[in-house]
Amino acid sequence: MDERTWELAKQCKLPACYDAAYLALAELVEAELWTADRRFATALGKKARRVRLIGR
């Protein structure tokens, strides 16, 4: 999972690795990732179909 975390952080240009770690974990367990962080969700764009924005 560590390798996938770094891949996602680079690919999505995420400023924090913990965001990429949550995304990698969601991929691993095939779950949706719900977040209130609009900047994070926007940075991912269509790259992360599993990410859902709370309040939308």
Q: Is 53 helix (H, G, I), strand (E, B) or coil?
A: strand
As a whole number, mean pLDDT of residues 19-32 equals: 92
Please report, as a single letter, which amino acid is at residue 32. Answer: E
| The model's pTM | 0.79
pLDDT given for residue 56 in this prediction: 60
Among the ranges given (13-17, 18-22, 46-50), the one the predictor scored with the smallest mean pLDDT: 46-50
Query: Domain residue spans in the chain?
Result: 2-53
What average pLDDT does the chain have? 87
Q: Tens digits of per-residue pLDDT, 30-56?
A: 999 999 998 888 888 777 788 998 986
Nearest to 49 by CA among 30, 36, 37: 30
